[in-house]
Amino acid sequence: MERKPLFKMNALMKTRIESIKKEYEGRRVKLLYSEADGAPPKGTLGTVLSVDDMGTRHVLWDNGTQTEMILGLDACSVIKE
């Protein structure tokens, strides 16, 4: 019996995720807000290592911690250089 995926990404969602990847991957960011366990304090700087297919940004913070920034729940801003 073939199992159907629980979640099917539509074209609009794919476009949005690709946009997030272009905006954040490899960029320096500043933490604005996070509910993640072990998240550093507001204002901490870090580097986005990757963005997965759900739009979650994986960030290595300058204090040595690493957290996942969930789209719609956590916020960071790209630092303009």
Here the CATH number for the domain that contains residue 63 is 2.30.30
Cβ neighbours of 6 (radius 10 Å): 5
pLDDT at 7: 61
Q: Which amino acid is at 36?
A: A
- Name the pairing type of β-strands 66-69 and 75-78: unpaired
User: Does residue 53 fall inside a structural domain?
Assistant: yes
% of the chain beyond a pLDDT of 70: 91
User: Does residue 17 fall inside a structural domain?
Assistant: no
* Domain that includes residue 53, residue range: 25-78
Intervals of the chain under pLDDT 70: 1, 4-9
pLDDT at 8: 65
Residues with Cβ within 8 Å of 42's Cβ and at least 6 positions away in sequence, in order, are 31, 32, 33
pLDDT at 13: 86
